[in-house]
Chains A and B, each alone.
Chain A
């Protein structure tokens, strides 16, 4: 884990006025980041783009209302219905939830096997997982799309194609998260003492019983961490959703992408996009607020491999 840290035993290394200078420098370096994010969020509640501190603006919910009403142009023409906007949000949730389920289902038992069992190829395949995690995704997507398109055209009747594309995009996107998720979960399994399972096995229970009833309840934080990362991965995806889902099935990502790629965006319309973007950013922010330590620790553990 992250060590017991120095701070319990001694204070911070830099104190007094020097620490204020250092924090000042850090703030300055972080300024573009702070400015860029606050532009997005404040603009979503303003009647104009609030791109700098000197802009005068009025607080308003109009952008949010316009977004949910589908009024996406200056003339207040309704380009989408409210139902269609909700559908986009629903699609984003379906993909994110689907990816979460597939990642958990695909990684939990394997992580247990890597943590507890000895078999041929164990080390070799662990290495392979690490290589796969860093594998050029763009080389995969060409092959994955070919398989998708081939099977779609050859075997899937037209009325089932939308369902098939959702099914495929969820499996394909989730697979990208599988190698790292196994590594992260293995780390959590490694920390569970083995005596509990031992007693289950001694009593004649199967490996599955030991896994399901003795170990799994003890790695709930690990499951939660992997679930959060998987959900955010499915939630944030643009490329896979854009390529695999039919054009009439939009998510928040492809909706924003479609609006900006058209190139005909008017300045007055940007605040409505800011509302869409802020809504889309919301789960990320919520996870940051509520699970900050879990995120940081899992990242350092997971990234270390």
Chain B
């Protein structure tokens, strides 16, 4: 037995992950921070060694405080995060309760159905909502509303100037909510599943109604999970941009009413503007907020208690 080679053994096993994480997390993070102090534009890499001190941060501050689009990005971010968070947490809880109390076979079907958006390729998910909100009578939403007589004219729901801003905001909340809601559903559902059956049987024997069981057993039991899901989803909503990118890129929603802080970083760096210095400054702000929320989650998770000690180390 190689008793004396503990550390070298561990490093041997950890090496592939260490290399990937160093190359694709640590180094890029340093590079992004570096760029935020340079005038980099259009990926002119010669500018990587020029320094502009805090110019990018100042420009960013000016954009947010004085430019109408800057304050719109902030407003969109807040509306998007707050409402999608409510949808994800409450929706997830309701879905978990509903699928917990019904027959297993039906429940499995619904849980799988609600997982599909999470696993659907981004481009396909964009495509189906393109059809759904399509501005002609053939768009699914228009077709239904016309048939029900609620509207006389088909509408481009996400871009019609008369309906902004809440139309575009509703769509980004709706589409991202459909993806996010399954997270809470899964966490809450497996929390319910870990309840001892005796508890429920006893409650039933004592004549508790389903509503009472939900109200006094299921929800209190998921209290801690609720806090955890809320913070974790908050973090992922603040940083998410891929679904928003597709919605904006394909003009399913108005460009600016669909742009949150995270998407702003992306379009600023890779869109038509290509001002990477400014984008990097905005990214650094995002990293700071993200890290704080991440650390908060770890606290809430009571991380140190749930981590198992390694098994059978010698």
Known: A12-B103, A13-B101. A33 touches B114 (CB 8 A): yes
Q: Which of B14, B23, B25, B246 is close to A110, meaning CB atoms less than 8 Å apart?
A: B14
- Chain B residues with CB below 8 A from A22, complex form: 98, 101-102
Least CB distance from B47 to A in Å reads 11
CA distance A236 to B304 in the complex (A): 34
**Restricting to A1-55, which residues have a CB under 8 Å from any CB of B?**
2-14, 18-19, 22-23, 25-26, 30, 32-37, 39-40, 43, 48-49, 51-52, 54-55
Residue pair B312, A139 in contact (C-beta under 8 Å): no
B236: nearest residue on chain A (CB-CB)? A134
A126: nearest residue on chain B (CB-CB)? B307
Contact of B70 with A by CB under 8 A: no
A187: nearest residue on chain B (CB-CB)? B308
Residue pair A147, B28 in contact (C-beta under 8 Å): yes
Question: Could you mark each residue 197-224 of chain A with 1 if its beta carbon is under 8 Å from any beta carbon of chain B, else 0?
Answer: 1100110101110010000000000000
Residue pair B124, A281 in contact (C-beta under 8 Å): yes
Contact of A56 with B by CB under 8 A: no
Residue pair A175, B143 in contact (C-beta under 8 Å): no
Q: Which of B10, B113, B291, B304 is close to A30, meaning CB atoms less than 8 Å apart?
A: B113
Known: A131-B298, A144-B24, A211-B13. A13 touches B200 (CB 8 A): yes
CA distance A246 to B113 in the complex (A): 36
Contact of A64 with B by CB under 8 A: no
Number of interface residues of A (CB under 8 A): 126
Contact of A78 with B by CB under 8 A: no
Q: Which of B106, B120, B242 is close to A23, meaning CB atoms less than 8 Å apart?
A: B106
- Chain A residues with CB below 8 A from B174, complex form: 32
Residue pair B121, A281 in contact (C-beta under 8 Å): yes
Contact of B283 with A by CB under 8 A: yes
A120: nearest residue on chain B (CB-CB)? B7
Q: Which of A23, A26, A150, A261 has the most CB of B within 10 A?
A: A26
Q: Which of B40, B286, B312 has the most CB of A within 10 A?
A: B312
Number of interface residues of B (CB under 8 A): 127
Chain A residues at the B interface, C-beta cutoff of 8 Å = 2-14, 18-19, 22-23, 25-26, 30, 32-37, 39-40, 43, 48-49, 51-52, 54-55, 102, 105-107, 109-110, 112-120, 122-123, 126-127, 130-132, 134-147, 149-150, 153, 171-172, 174-176, 178-179, 182, 190, 194, 197-198, 201-202, 204, 206-208, 211, 232, 235-239, 243, 252-254, 256-257, 260-261, 263, 267, 270, 273-274, 277, 280-281, 284, 287-288, 292, 295-296, 299-300, 303-305
- Known A-B contacts: A51-B131, A296-B111. Give 13 more (CB < 8 A): A5-B193, A26-B98, A37-B116, A109-B12, A118-B6, A130-B294, A131-B291, A137-B239, A143-B32, A146-B40, A146-B276, A174-B20, A236-B121
Can you report 19 A-B residue pairs in the complex whose CB atoms are below 8 A from each other? A6-B197, A19-B102, A22-B98, A26-B99, A33-B113, A51-B140, A52-B144, A118-B309, A132-B21, A139-B32, A143-B31, A146-B48, A179-B21, A211-B13, A254-B123, A274-B131, A303-B183, A304-B187, A304-B190
Which 3 pairs show the lowest CB-CB distances between chains A and B?
A143-B28, A194-B312, A175-B24
